Amino acid sequence: MSIARRYLPSIAALTALEAVARLGTASAAAQELSLTQGAVSRQIRALEEQLGVTLMIRERQRLVPTAAAADYVAEVRKALGLLSSAALTLKTNPRGGNLNLAILPAFGMHWLAPRLADFAARHPEVNVNLSTRLRPFDFAGTSFDAAIHYGRRDWPGVRYLKLMDEEILAVAAPSLLPRPLAAPEEVLTQPLLQLESRTGDWGRWLAHHGRTGFRPGGMLFDHFATMTQAAIHGLGLALLPQFLIGRDLAEGRLVPAHGGPVRALGSYYLVWPEERPLRGPLASFRDWAEGQADPGAE
């Protein structure tokens, strides 16, 4: 990639601009950066001269970005964050081999975490860093190499490796439901729990059992972990992925409410940006994940 050096400011000037824009005064920025106020002001003036654009204006007692500079400051902040992350990655693993992976909390805890020891044993040269992300994002603005995605193939600009389909089971605490319901529509007489990102699940579950036209509401949760605990403590019936609740079923904390598992709408995928070259750590992880995938996944 060719870089237009004429428009490439110094890191010192960019950090000064970011700090002034965030803190509102040159003196506060100088204190944070261990510089003098004059040095910070000179960096801002030099940057304005280089770009030919006024970047900061005074409003009352504060310095604020001009309308034209506001987006530039946001991009500068993002770029500095990426540089800082890259430096930290290099420092923590000077031999290279870092893989930054965005995961879904429940999948990461119950499917990925128990398998990572095997990956580490096979690829000791790769250091896996995990962070939680609940929804698709723009890879270009992050240091992530790949992500775990639940749903359909609806994440733009990525390649997919299907890891597994999902089956959900209607369950409850035995204290709430001493015996299974005789008919599927009886769930409508019970308190229902649901994930806020999947509010149509109970309607689809009923339709699967031949009871169409229903979209029942219920208590909302943003994570499966909290919804599972709510179900265990008798707050209501929940539709939960089977791979999350195997132990809870085996140890009697949860019992099936009616019928067997039902195929969910979504599947779990490993995704990575199609425009980036495939780095060695990601290639190793992708090949390993393919071996871990459900044999029925296509």
How many Å apart are CA 21 and CA 79, to the nearest integer?
15
In this prediction, residue 28 carries a pLDDT of: 94
CATH of 167-262, one of 3.40.1350.10, 3.40.1360.10, 3.40.190.10, 3.30.1380.10: 3.40.190.10
The segment(s) of the chain belonging to CATH 3.40.190.10 are 98-164+267-292, 167-262
In this prediction, residue 41 carries a pLDDT of: 93
CATH number for region 98-164+267-292: 3.40.190.10
Q: From the CB of residue 289, how many other CB atoms can be counted at a distance below 10 Å?
A: 19
In this prediction, residue 1 carries a pLDDT of: 47
Q: What is the pTM of this model?
A: 0.65
pLDDT tens digit sequence for 72-115? 999 999 989 888 877 776 666 555 589 999 999 999 989 999 99
In this prediction, residue 295 carries a pLDDT of: 72
Beta bridge partners, 202, equal none
Question: What residue ranges of the chain have pLDDT lower than 70?
Answer: 1-4, 89-96, 296-298
CATH class of the structural domain 5-92: mainly alpha
Q: Which residues contact 205 (CB under 8 A, 6 or more apart)?
A: 168, 170, 184, 187, 239, 262
